[in-house]
Amino acid sequence: MRDSFRPSGTVVTGPAGRPTRTVLGTRSTRTVLGAVAAVLLATLVVPSTPAGAEPACPAPTGGAAPTETPWALRRLDPASAWRITRGEGVTVAVIDSGVSPSHPLLKGQVREGRDVNGLPQAQGRCDLAGHGTIVAGIIAGRDDTGAPYSGIAPAARILPVRVLQDTRRTNDPGLPLQIAAAIRWAADQDVEVINLSLVTIDHPELADAVRYALDEGVVVVAAAGNRAQDQRDLPAYPAAYPGVIA
């Protein structure tokens, strides 16, 4: 998979005791959340990106759909937890590059969300980069499409919040503040989980936003980052904040 589409963490840079909630309605909460985090880090390839894009939102070019179940999904075997729960009644906010609602794995799964980076009329449902759609497919891709791929919790729903225009490294000093605003907004939308497959550096407002979400009983999952050759080991935020599942 190309580095720019690794769901384990898009790198964005700017200025230099978790509450519990029954997320899936059972005691298997930690197991299923751990499964979500594991598959995020496994960087699975979802089927090709949306075949039919909405007007004014061209679909990113995707690869061919897999012809067999990816090895990481076979190893994780999320279907073993589906006897207990498939994620019914759970909404996961995906703070990323937006999520396309027309992808075959995500039709009917994507709520109207919010865009804090240039396309407010799209309500987070326009993904020009493809990254947020990949992440959403890993989390809640449907299992009834005939494709040999599904998400970890195929009955969950996605609330898209667009903060990234693309997956390139950026020094935009306003981006950590946009991420913080996205976290606060998502936490107020009655979601059970907030997923951030992106990386930035520490910022007081970002830390405050994470604490706010945790205080609201929301589970926050964030990427620990991609490891490139000769890359220094640096803390990845918001993953490094206390209470966040990294």
Annotated domain spans of the chain: 23-49+86-246
Residues 81 and 184: their CA atoms lie apart, in Å, by 30
- Between the alpha carbon of residue 47 and those of residues 70, 76, 91, 217, 230, the distances in Å are 11, 18, 22, 33, 31
Beta-carbon contacts of residue 164 (< 8 Å; ≥ 6 apart): 10, 12, 96, 97, 98, 117, 129, 131, 132, 198
Q: Are 242 and 218 in contact (CB under 8 A)?
A: no
Question: Is the predicted pLDDT of residue 15 greater than 50, yes or no?
Answer: no
Residues 141 and 19: their CA atoms lie apart, in Å, by 27
Total-model pTM = 0.79
Residues 84 and 107: their CA atoms lie apart, in Å, by 24
Task: Look at the alpha carbons of 145, 149, 155, 160 in this order and tell me if their dihedral is positive or negative.
Answer: negative
Percent of the chain with pLDDT over 70: 73
Beta-carbon contacts of residue 190 (< 8 Å; ≥ 6 apart): 91
List helix spans (H) across the chain. Answer: 29-42, 71-76, 131-140, 175-187, 204-215
The pLDDT of residue 56 is 66
Confidence of residue 46 (pLDDT cuts 50, 70, 90): very low
Average pLDDT, the chain: 80
Confidence of residue 11 (pLDDT cuts 50, 70, 90): low
Beta-carbon contacts of residue 199 (< 8 Å; ≥ 6 apart): 9, 10, 11, 12, 222, 223, 224, 225, 226, 236, 237, 239
How many Å from the N-terminal Cα to the C-terminal Cα in the chain?
A: 21
For residue 108, the one-letter residue type is G
CATH number, domain 23-49+86-246? 3.40.50.200
